Structure 1
Amino acid sequence: MKKYAYIGCLGFIAVITTEFGIIGILPQIAEHYKISIDKAGYLLSAFALIIALTGPFMTLLVSGYDRKKIMLTSIAIFLITGLVSSFSPPFWLLMVVRVLPAFLQPVYIATALSVAVSDATDNKNELMSIVFSGVALAMVTTVPFATWISSLWSWEYSFMIQTLVCFIAFLMIYFMLPSIPVKEKKSYGSQLKILTQPSFMLSTAANFFMITAWFSTYSYFADYLNKAKGMNETMISYMLFVFGIIGVLSTWIAGKMLKHDVTKTMAFFLSGTLVVPILLYVSHDDLFSTIMVIGIWGFMYSPSFLNASTYMISSAPDSLEFANSLATSFGNLGVTLGTTLGGWMIVSKGLANNIWICFAFGLLALLMMLLRSVYDSKSK
């Protein structure tokens, strides 16, 4: 049902606002706690690492529980930790409350997708795109708004915005989603079997390398635009808005394209990991050129999680929830590696050079796609 997909989308906005809303305020957090930007980046990479390490296990663990209760519990944890973060606790405590909701993030995403497509027949990809549009909508609304608010007052207000979004999502799930008990719980063995399929593992590697590529630069979006392109905090919040509004459009387009050809859609948007670094390099500090590149960047990047999940699920259609939790986990492992490598590059080689990490890992992702295509053609 589309209603369930839109409810899942709203919760996704809350989840993404919490995970990625911090990107726009990393420089302020680094200044507040008197730490380097790469150490502030741990707030993003640690969140992603917890998802990567625990996501599939948590999803398997709760696979027999009522799906409404799972979604409510997940969003409630996001709400509480956002509230604590808004009081600017000591950095160690901020780190702790940042990673707590990460244990349930892939659980929420897998469950929301499962609920959205539970009664679907031939429009599963379209319903999944509605849920995943929460990523792009967060990028165009709550993430830039939280960054803008923090530029007016302080970074703590960004967490207040995140808490408010989580509260709204909690209410919508509570009042508009019926109880959805699991009718038939699949055995762990039947779900784990997809790990023995070469096609699925190559798809997983493509996802991992693609997300690593994008986040080596995107994690430091605010710092990059400030130091490499000379933009102030207000201008950066506008750029996040441009990035996001184009991303909403591209996610909708990707959803339509995936109905026709999953592999070609994945490859098309993945090519952005090669194109965008080159365009960022040649645009120098020209404002108009940079804005154009950010638009292209937002268009090519925004459907990446949708494309990756759909691409992985296409090789394991009978294990949607577990396959998607693995997509989320390996995607977030890519966030961790990309953020870590990007931070290392900024500190050791200079901020302008971390775009080439994106290029290198983009090539690796395309290679994994090529290997899967070769394997699939030989297996027919």
Structure 2
Amino acid sequence: MKTNLNKRVAYIGCLGVIGIISTEFGVIGILPQIAEYYKINIATAGYLLSAFALFIAITGPFTVLFASKFDKKIIMLCAMGLFFLSNFFSIFSPPFWILMVLRILPTFLHPAFFSMAIAAAIKGTSQKDQMHLTAIIIGGIALAQVTLIPLSTFLASLYTWQITYVVQGFIILLTILIILKYLPSMPVEKPASFKNQLSILTQPRFISGTLLNLLLITAWFCSYSYFADYLNREKHMSEKQISVLLLIFGAMGVLSNYVTGKLLGKNMFWTTLFFITGVLMVPLAFGYTDHSFFNVAIVTGIWGIMYGPCFLIGVGYMISAAPDAKEFANSLQTSFGNLGVSLGTSIGGFFIFKYGISVTPWVGVVFGVLAILAVMWRAYLDKIHFEK
């Protein structure tokens, strides 16, 4: 049974995720402006995204194992504090290398926030409620794409790219105040041993879920990381049109994420297969789309629907294979998900540099096919597991 505290934690966690994800992915909408401001190419500007994600991938599991000893409220506050500092000092457009350092600063507690919020929200609830509460928190990713990211991109098109950090910083500060006022202390009652948590790394079902998570997010971020630049240079969309397209993309992602949260609990295999096909559908759709804003908007909406649940799918597959180490499993999902972001951004940037922006939607197709194979492998392992 969901308690009021469970739901409160989930919604506060969702707000925190909106601030975190707008900081992480909000840079996508302003990459062209940053590249122009610092006189660098778009692939180099893309390091702001790939380096952020790579540091999360490297440090995430270790910081979560360490943070699991402490009060969840304190960890969530510390994570939000680092994100606030990062945004505040980025407003002043420091030299590019300092901007990169400021981007990396909050990555150390990024996975810890997700893990602590999800662990606190699902504590003492049924399996069905756990997926619903997790979907609320992870839904912050899609909500960021329909609120802060398009809003900050639009404001940047009117004023300057630095304003994105003002908007993001405000939401993060608001989250800090809400956590202080409305979340009780959440000390660790009986911390799981490191040995028990690390044991999931040898379980084939968990490994297959991890591989799916990595491949699916890599597939999407080969193209999504260069969303704004592709629409501008290949489809001739203006900055204001791109902000509207980001809004459409995010809105469809919110809807899709909500529906997927219900469908995954009923049939994880077919739900996942359906959304993976989007990696193949979107490039084909863009290939037959002209420069009409209406047509581009339709394909962007489809893109948002198919992309929206990718993080939720990763959480579902990894946590379901590690019921006794949910916090650590979620930290690994965040780490490998961000490794996928980093790989996708780097690989996409490489192919754009080599062959031009027009290849952007196609780069992730190979990873999409590999993700389908990973789903098949997990289905086989699940069949064996539940037959025992």
Q: TM-score, normalised by structure 2?
A: 0.96
CA apart distance, 1:120: 1.4
Q: Check the 8 A contact 2:230/2:360 in 1, yes or no.
A: no
Please give the per-residue CA displacement for 1:176-201, whole angstroms capped at 9, x wherever unaligned: 11000010000000000000011111
Aligned to 2:369: 363
Which of 242, 265, 268 lines up with 1:262 in the alignment? 268
- 2:192 aligns with one of 186, 192, 196: 186
Shift of 1:213: 0.5
Structure 1 unaligned spans of 5+? none
2:305 matched to which residue of 1? 299
Which whole-Å CA distance do the structure 2 matches of 1:223 and 1:83 have between them? 26
Residues 73 and 184, structure 2, Cα contact 8 Å, conserved in 1: yes
Q: How does 1:151-170 map to 2 (within 5 A)?
A: 151-170=157-176
Q: Partner of 2:206: helix, strand, or coil?
A: helix
CA contact (8 A) 2:46 2:345 kept: yes
Cα distance, 1:106 vs structure 2: 0.6
Task: Deviation per CA, 1:58-94: give whole Å up to 9, x if none.
Answer: 1001101000000000000000110000100000100
SS at structure 1 position matched to 2:189 = coil
> 1:326-353: CA deviations, max 9, x gaps?
1110110000010001111111111111
Alignment of 1:201-280 (within 5 A): 201-280=207-286
The alignment status of 1:34 with 2:39, answered yes or no, reads yes
**1:311 aligned partner:** 317
Q: Aligned match of 2:379 in 360, 365, 373?
A: 373
Correspondent of 1:130 among 128, 133, 136: 136
Structure 1 counterpart of 2:19: 14
Instruction: Show the counterpart of 1:107.
Output: 112
| Structure 1: distance between partners of 2:353 and 2:82 | 34
Report deviation, 1:278.
1.3
TM-score normalised to structure 1 length: 0.98
1:123 counterpart SS class = helix
Query: Contact 1:266/1:311 (CA < 8 Å) preserved in 2?
Result: no
Q: What number of residue pairs does the alignment pair up? A: 380
For residue 78 of structure 2, what is the aligned residue in structure 1?
73
Whether the 8 Å contact between 2:226 and 2:360 is mirrored in structure 1 is no
Whether the 8 Å contact between 1:203 and 1:368 is mirrored in structure 2 is yes
CA distance in 1, matches of 2:11, 2:165: 24
Amino acid at match of 2:113: Y
C-alpha deviation, 1:311, in angstroms: 1.2
CA distance in 1, matches of 2:13, 2:270: 27
8 A contact 2:200–2:322 mirrored in 1: yes
Please report the RMSD computed on the Cα atoms of aligned residues, expressed in angstroms: 1.0
Whole-angstrom CA distance in 1 between matches of 2:245 and 2:260? 22
Is the Cα–Cα contact under 8 Å of residues 277 and 358 in structure 1 kept in the other structure?
A: no
Output one character per residue of 1:249-268: Cα deviation in whole Å (capped at 9) or x when no partner.
Answer: 11110111122122222222
Give the Å deviation of 1:354: 2.4
| Matching of residue 83 in structure 1 with residue 83 in structure 2 | no
**8 Å CA contact retained: 2:192, 2:325:** no
Deviations 1:291-320, CA, capped at 9 Å, x for gaps = 111001001111110111111111112211
Q: Which moved more, 1:226-235 or 1:266-275?
A: 266-275
- 1: distance between equivalents of 2:379 and 2:264? 17
Counterpart-to-counterpart distance in 2, 1:242 and 1:373: 33
Q: Distance in 2 between matches of 1:348 and 1:36?
A: 13
Partner in structure 2 of residue 97 of structure 1:
102
- Structure 2: segments with no counterpart, 5+ residues: 1-5
What SS class does the counterpart of residue 132 from structure 1 fall into? helix
